[in-house]
Amino acid sequence: MQNSASHIKVAVDAIVFGYAKNDGVSVLLIQRKYDPFKNSWAIPGGFVLEDESLEEAVRRELLEETGIEVNYLEQLYTFGDPGRDPRQRIIAISYFGLVKTSQYQELKASTDAENAKWFNIKKLPALAFDHKKILATAIERLRNKVRYQPIGFELLDKKFPFSDLEKLYTALLDRELNRRNFSKKILSFGFLEETGELSRPEGKGRPGKMFRFNAHRYKELLKEGFHFEI
Amino acid sequence: MQNSASHIKVAVDAIVFGYAKNDGVSVLLIQRKYDPFKNSWAIPGGFVLEDESLEEAVRRELLEETGIEVNYLEQLYTFGDPGRDPRQRIIAISYFGLVKTSQYQELKASTDAENAKWFNIKKLPALAFDHKKILATAIERLRNKVRYQPIGFELLDKKFPFSDLEKLYTALLDRELNRRNFSKKILSFGFLEETGELSRPEGKGRPGKMFRFNAHRYKELLKEGFHFEI
DNA sequence: TCAAAAGTGTTTCACTTACACCCATGA
DNA sequence: TCATGGGTGTAAGTGAAACACTTTTGA
C-alpha cells in the first residue's frame, strides 16, 4: 500500500423503493438541474463528507434532495469503472432503501422535493450516467431478497390487512400467488400477529383482519435456526 | 451534487479463499512491513489507480503482493467508516476471491509472496485495521453462497474425485453430510460429468471416479429456470 | 484376508401444491 | 339481494431424509 495522491472522488447513491396498492412498486428519482445530463432523471446521491459514515451520507443526501427518511437501508454495490462520470473518476457506493406506504404518500407534500418523483419500476424514464445499470442491480436485489428475508413489511404500514401483503408480493415477484397457500405459509411462520382490528373496506367487500409484523419474534425464530423463504 | 474537494482515498482489498483436503478452508493474508500495524497480518490490497477498474486494481494488487491469480472474483462489501485507518479516511472496496487447489499449492514456491501465507479460517491470527470484520463478512458470504451457487468447484481442481467435493462441503458448511443423499442430489443436477478416469488412491481404499464441472451445462440449466441449492 | 474408502436403492415422512365453497360487508 | 373481496380444510403429489450392505483397492 503506497501512499499515492489520488483524485478519485467518493459518492453515495440511494435507490429507494416505495409501494402503494394502486401504483405498484416505485423508485424515487430526482431531476438533475445542471449539466451533464441536465433535466435527466437520476438516482439521488452526492459526495461523502470527510467525517460522516457512508450510511450517514446517504441519509443526509436523501433528506436534502427528496425530504424522505427511509425505514430500511442496506449497502447494494459499489460502481467505480473509469468513465462512468464524464467529468472525473467517481466511485459510487450505492445503497438500497425502503420506505413505508405512509412516507410514500407524503412526497407530494414535501417542499424539499420539488424535483423528486416516484416512478413505477415498470415505467422508468431514461436515466443519467450509468444509473440504469445501478437501478437494474437494485431491482434484482429487491426481487431476490424479498424471497428469503421479510423485508416486504418495510414497504407496508405498521398495520396492514393481509391482502396488502399478498398484493405486494404479487407485484414484487411478478406472478400470481395462490391466496390460500400464501397465507397458510406466511401465517405458519409465526411472526405476524393480528391486531384485532379490521380494515375499513374501500368500496365493497368483506373487511380483512389487520396484521402487524413482530420483528422481535422474527429475531427469536432466527436464533432457533428458522429460515424464511417464499 | 456539489464538486467539493475531498481527501478520502479509495482502496481495494481481496479476501481470497483456498482449499486443500488436509488443510481445510484457508484465507490468504500478508504480513505488513510498515507501521501502522507493522508485522501484523492483513488482507492484501492497495490503492486504486486513476485509470484502472476496481477489479483490475484487485487483480494487480494480488499479483504484486502474493503472486496469486484468482479464478473467481466478486465484489463483497465496501467499508468506509471514518477512523478505520488511523492515518486518513480510506474507503475499502473489498472483493471475494477463490483459487483452485493447484494454485493454492504454488504459493510456497512463489518468490513475490515471501510475506504471504495461507491461514486456516478456524485458526486466524490477529489482524490489522478492521480486517477482522472484513474477513468475517467474507466468510459469512462464502458459507451462504456455497449453498445456492456452485462456487465450490472454483476451489477444486478441474478434475476431482467426488469425495473431494464432499469433504469441501463438509468443511464449508461445518457439518456432516450424508454421503448417499449428497451425491444423489449433486449428480441429479446434471452439471457434473465423469471424466472416465479413476483417482489414484492415496494409501488404502477403493479409487473414486473423477468428475468435472460442466459450466456450460450449468448455464443452460439456469436458463431453463433451474435453481441450485444444497 | 483385512482395513479403508467408494458406490448404490428403497422406504418414510414432511412439505408443497392444487382445488372450491362459505362469510361479511357496502351499495 | 347482489357483487366484491376475505377466510378457510383436505387430498394428492413431490422431494428430502434416513438407513446398511457390497465393491475395489493397497498393504
Segment A11-26, tens digit of pLDDT = 999 999 999 988 899 9
Does residue A99 form part of some domain?
yes
| Residues B123 and B162 reside in one and the same domain | no
A72 and A185 within one domain: no
| Cell numbers for A134 | 445501478
- Domain of residue A177, CATH code: 1.10.10.10
Q: Are residues B43 and B128 in the same domain?
A: yes
Domain boundary among the residues B148, B180, B208 is at B148
Q: What are phi and psi of A143, to 5 degrees?
A: -65, -40
Q: What distance in Å separates residue B155's CA from the closest CA in chain A?
A: 24
C-alpha distance across the termini of chain A, in Å: 45
CB within 8 Å of B209: residues ≥ 6 apart:
B161, B162, B194, B195, B197, B198, B199
A123 and A173 belong to one structural domain: no
Q: Does A167 lie in the same domain as A141?
A: no
Chain B environment of A11 (Cβ under 8 Å): 1
Query: Does A1 have pLDDT greater than 80?
Result: no
Q: Please report whether residue A229 resides in a domain.
A: no
pLDDT value of residue A21: 87
The sheet with strand A209-213 has its strands ordered as A159-161, A209-213, A192-198
Q: Is residue A176 part of a domain?
A: yes
Percent of chain A whose predicted confidence (pLDDT) is above 70: 95
- For B27, the grid coordinates are 484465507
Residue A205 covered by a domain: yes
Residues shown for chain A: 230
Residue A127 lies in a domain: yes
> Which pLDDT score, from 0 to 100, does residue A104 have?
85
pLDDT in tens, A142-173: 999 999 999 999 999 999 999 999 999 999 99
One domain for residues A31 and A109 = yes
Looking up residue B68, the CATH number of its domain turns out to be 3.90.79.10
Does residue A228 form part of some domain? no
Yes or no: say if A57 and A12 are a contact pair by the CB < 8 Å rule. yes
Predicted pLDDT of residue B3: 44
Distance A180 CA to C20 C1' (A): 11
Q: Are B212 and B193 in contact (CB under 8 A)?
A: yes
For B33, other C-beta atoms within 10 Å of its C-beta total 9
* Same domain? A130 vs A218: no
- The residue among A113, A148, A183 that closes a domain is A148
Number of domains within chain A? 2
Residue span of the structural domain in which B58 resides: 4-148
Residue B199 contacts residue B161 (beta carbons within 8 Å) = yes
Element (H, E) at B50: none
Q: Is residue A41 domain-shared with residue A16, that is, in the same domain?
A: yes
**Interfacial residues of A (vs B; Cβ cutoff 8 Å):** 1-2, 4, 6-11, 45-48, 50-54, 75, 77-78, 80-82, 89, 91, 93
Three cell numbers, residue B174? 461445518
**What is the spatial distance between Cα B214 and Cα A96, in angstroms, rounded to a whole number?**
35
Residue B230: inside a domain: no
Please give, rounded to a whole number of angstroms, the shortest distance from the CA of A84 to a CA of chain B.
11
B65 and B103 both lie in a single domain:
yes
pLDDT for B203 equals 82
Identify all chain A residues contacting B93, using CB atoms and an 8 Å cutoff.
78, 80, 91
Side chain identity at residue A74, one-letter code: E
User: Which residues of chain A does B50 touch, with a Cβ-Cβ cutoff of 8 Å?
Assistant: 6-8, 82, 89
Asked which of B148, B183, B215 is the last residue of a domain, the reply is B148
Do A196 and A101 share a structural domain?
no
Report how far Cα B15 is from the mean position of its chain's Cα atoms. Answer: 6
Report field, pTM of the whole predicted structure over 0.75: yes
My answer on whether A210 and A104 are in the same domain is no
Nucleotide nearest to B181 (CA to C1'): D17
Question: A–B: how many Cβ contacts below 8 A?
Answer: 77
Q: Which of B1, B77, B80 sits opposite A46 (nearest CB)?
A: B1
Residue B46 in domain? yes
Which grid cell sits at A54?
Answer: 457512508
Tell me the pLDDT tens digit for each residue of A56-108.
Answer: 999 999 999 999 999 999 999 999 999 999 999 999 999 999 999 888 877 76
Indicate which of A47, A54, A77, A78 best probes the interface with B, i.e. most B CBs within 10 Å of its own CB: A78
* pLDDT beneath 50, residues of chain B: 1-4
Banded model confidence at residue A112, pLDDT cuts 50, 70, 90: low
What are the pLDDT digits (tens) for A31-64? 999 989 999 999 999 999 999 999 999 999 999 9
Top-confidence residue, A201 or B126: B126
Same domain, A112 and A213: no
Q: Which of B52, B151, B155, B65 is nearest to B101 (CA)?
A: B155
| Average pLDDT score over residue span A175-193 | 96
CA nearest B212: which of B107, B100, B98, B104? B100
Scanning every strand, the nucleotide with its C1' closest to B162's CA turns out to be C6
Residue B47 pairs in a beta bridge with B11
